[in-house]
Structures are given as structure tokens and as C-alpha cells.
Amino acid sequence: MDSITPEKNSGTVYLVGGGPGDPELLTLKGKKALEKAQVVLYDHLSSLDLLDLVPESAEFIDVGKERGHPKLGQREIEELMVDRANKGLTVVRLKGGDPLVFGRGGEEGQALEKAGIPYVIVPGVTSAIAVPAYAGVPVSHRDTNSRISILTGHSNPDRMTKEEISSLAIPMQTVIVMMGVEHIQKLAAKMIAAGKDKKTPVMIVRWGTTAAQTSWDTTLGEIALQTLVPPVRPPAVVVIGESAGKDVRLSWTRHLPLSQKTILITREREQASFLKNSLTALGAEVLVCPTISIEHPDDWTETDNAIKEMDQWKWIMFLSPNGVRGFLTRFLFLNGDLRNLHRQKIFSLGPQTTKSLSDRGIIPDLVSEDSHGEGVIKSMKKVILEGEKILMVRGDRGDRSIPEGLVSAGGDVSVISCYTNRLPRLLPHVEERISSRILEGTIDAIVFYSPSSVSNLLSLFPQLASSIRSIPASAIGPTTQKALEAEHFSRINVSRDTTVKAMVQTIQESLNQKRHHP
């Protein structure tokens, strides 16, 4: 069972535990299954970030499974898995936590066996252990307990036997109640009646391991008397026992400056990965919303003519990684050899563009001192001579400020568009994830890379434009800052350059600004 390669000519179902909420707690085996999925069935406890691992060509089925408001019943879910697998498709049933810990994975496995469908169980990190850990609660400690009991809070304590309740009241024990809100008051009262000290520490954690995590310290007696205000709503994990006490409490998340902060990056996932990884390492939850769809231009004529007359250009200027990819792809298609660029000097705007060039074996002759239009002009003015012919590679939406600035410095500038910026078509789960977080007011900062990303985000969510404008914005360069000001964003911080270090600092400044402007 180590391999997750399905049998030939047979669809396989993967029952994947997606973990408790933090997408980085997904197992490697779960990641591999998602990356090859042709159909994925997910519910509200699955981290929607995990769906970004699934190929866009896959079928995404939201089965709901929110208690009291299911979109599909359990039998319907099982029938869907069997139906898609019988069509020879690779199916992933993505579940929160572990599929076999109160996740009905056992029932689903039985249904698949009955239908003769091959399946693989991919265990996940269970919420019973991970959620308390993220709240600083060690579910086992030599000074507090020698046993752990895990139960589901969906079960009515009135239906539990006296012996079952008594077993939960045993000393030196940690009791973990998953999905534990609905009947917790009754359970607390019965445990006290069975001899459990009413002063026994209790911690309740809602949306554990996510940026929305909230926790409450209380006691068994307070819960029995319903003195916890405000009432806790699901999803929540309840930890009962001395291990939930402050004497053994851990505070490891305090060392993460962006813990419980949510940052939205308005960029394609691949290009956002460097910044996302740095923010995640500091404790942030990072959402990625592509606001620009990069496509080939409808007409390559200008680019082809520029390439055919390559010897006339003294400088080739690349202003973005997309320009590098678009131009060099076309150049290789027509010429087939990058050594034919040896006569031209290469200019690069910013570290990401420079990396895109170096990945292709091209070391730029000049890199802009600052990663914005004014920095480009300033850098080029120092090196260009009167009348030198300059080829500027960019997208279809660039303004005229850079070429006009270079012309005023004596350059003979031609601009070609090697890619087009289009409004992307978001997958339903991406649109749902971003819109719900905007509505909830749980996004702490938004990173904008270009004027197009500003206008496009507002176009993608027109009904939420007012809420978006109220979120602290981190702008890359003065041109993006002007676009944000024109759209009346209320709080703007500008990164001095496009390095990840500078952007992280700008985001932290945005969050500090938010704290001082409630």
C-alpha cells in the first residue's frame, strides 16, 4: 500500500485525511493523491487551500457535510465515489482531520468494498491532537495524565450508560471531545455527578490550527452552569483535564509574529510561492487569488519582426518574469538558439525577473536600482547613449511613463507586447474561499503587485468592493500605490522594492497600522 498508483484500467478512490485546518499539516501521501485526482469530493472541514493541489481539469464536488446543513447525504456521497470510479477515474474523498477518526471513512471504505472498487486510506493529522497543540495544550503530560479518551460530541450524554460516564471521570485522564459544542453542558454536568472535580480545567478551541483560531479557558463547573459567554459555535474541540490547565500550558505560537494573521496575495500561485512560504514561516495563513490570467498575444507580428531584426537592438529590457517567458519562448521558436542574443545588453527589472532570466542561462547586464518605473528610468539614464535602439518587452497593459522617460533621455525605444493580461476565471472553490473571508472580515492585509491586480480584484468581487478597500494594502512600488489611491483604499503601505524581505516588512507595517486604527 506504499504506492498510490491505481490499478490499470480501474478507477481508485483515495480516502484522504486533509488534517485539522492548517494546509501544511497535509501528509506527503495525501499531496500526491490530490495532485493526480480527476474527481475530488470535499466538505466544509477540509482546508480549501488543499484544492489548489488538484489539477484544474478535475471535477470538484462540494458535498457540504456541515452539521444540520448537508449538501449531500452520506449514501449519495458513497454512490458518487462508486459512480466516478466505475468510469475509470481517480477519485479523492478529501476529509478534515483523519478519515477514520469520527470521519465516516469506515462506512465509505465498506461501501467501496461492497461495490468492488479499489481504494486507499491516507491517514491525516487528527484534530483531536493537533488543535490542542496549536492552542498550547499537551494532551499528555507526565504530571497530569496517563490516559487519553477521545469521543464525539454529537452523541447525546443522556444516552450514555453510567459506566461510560464514570470512565470519563477517572483521575489522571485527558478527555477530548471532538465536534463537542452541542452537548457539552450536559456532559460536564454528568461528569461532575460521577465524581469529577468541578474545578477541572477545560479549554475550548474553535477553528483550531487556522488563523481564525479562538480559545477559551474555563472549568467543568462553569460549563455545567452554562456561564461561558458568548456561546461557542462549531467547529470546536474541547479538552477536559489537568493537561488543559495553565500550569503545563505551552506558548510556542507567541514566537511567530504573524500567528493568526491572514494575508491575501493577488498573484498566480507559482509566482506567489516565495512570499507565501516566508509569510507562512512567520505563522501567517496565506490565501492566493490570481487576479491576472497571462495569455499569449493574439498577434505575434510585432514581436516576430523585432526578433527577425535582432541585430538593430542595443538593449533588450525585461520588466517582468512573464515578459521573459513570453519573449524567449517566441525567440526560441523562431531562432532556436539563445546564443544569438550575445550582441545585445540585457536589462532586468527586479529580483524575480532576474531569476527568470538566470534560470534560462541569461545574466542581465543591468538590474534596476529600484523595482518601479522611476527606478527603471533612473538606472537606464546612466548607461544609454543618444540614439541607441532599445527593445522593451512587456505586457499589453503597461503605461507610457517608462518608454517616454527613456526617449527623453535620448533612447530610441520600441515596445512589444509578449503577453496579455486578462481577467481570470476563478474556480468555484477559490471564489468561495476569498469571498467568504472578505465577508467575514478575517483578511488582515492584501498584497498588490501591479495596477492591474488592484482593478482586477475589484472586478472579480464587485459586490465586496467596499470591504476590499477597507483592508490594509501593501503595494509594490509607487505605480501600484497610485492605483490604490485612485480606488480610494483607506490604508496603504508601499514596499521599497520587490524582494521578499522588503515585502514581508511592508506587510508587518500594514498590520501594525491596522492595530492603531481600529
Element at 452 (helix H, strand E):
helix 451-460
Decide: residue 325, CB within 10 A, 0-12 exposed, 13-18 middle, 19+ buried. middle
**How many Å apart are CA 234 and CA 243, to the nearest integer?**
22
Decide if 359 is catalytic.
no
Torsion of CA 90, 96, 97, 100, to 10 degrees: -60
CA-closest candidate to residue 442, choices 118, 127, 210, 161: 210
CA-closest candidate to residue 45, choices 283, 203, 237, 256: 237
Decide if 501 is catalytic.
no
**How many Å apart are CA 166 and CA 75, to the nearest integer?**
35
* DSSP per-residue letters across 321-359: HHHHHHHHHHHHHHT--GGGGTTSEEEE-HHHHHHHHHT
**How many Å apart are CA 286 and CA 24, to the nearest integer?**
11
Residue with cell 506558548: 251
CA separation (Å) from 243 to 132, 141, 449, 456? Answer: 10, 7, 46, 49
**How many Å apart are CA 21 and CA 24, to the nearest integer?**
9
φ and ψ at residue 37, rounded to 5 degrees: -65, 140
Beta bridge partners of 39: 59, 91
Q: Which of 81, 179, 191, 392 is catalytic?
A: 179
Enter the DSSP assignment of 5. P
Query: Could you tell me if 435 and 464 are in contact, meaning their C-beta atoms sit under 8 angstroms apart?
Result: yes
Decide if 43 is catalytic.
yes
φ and ψ at residue 96, rounded to 5 degrees: -70, 150
Q: Which of 65, 95, 190, 261 is catalytic?
A: 65
Residues with Cβ within 8 Å of 5's Cβ and at least 6 positions away in sequence, in order, are: none
Peptide bond into 235 cis (omega under 30): yes
Cell of 222: 462553569
Query: Side-chain half-sphere of 170: how many Cα atoms within 13 Å?
Result: 14
**How many Å apart are CA 354 and CA 383, to the nearest integer?**
18
Q: Which of 22, 43, 49, 497 is catalytic?
A: 43
Query: Could you tell me if 39 and 89 are in contact, meaning their C-beta atoms sit under 8 angstroms apart?
Result: yes
**How many Å apart are CA 428 and CA 51, to the nearest integer?**
11
Residue with cell 481504494: 119
Kindly list the catalytic residues: 43, 65, 179
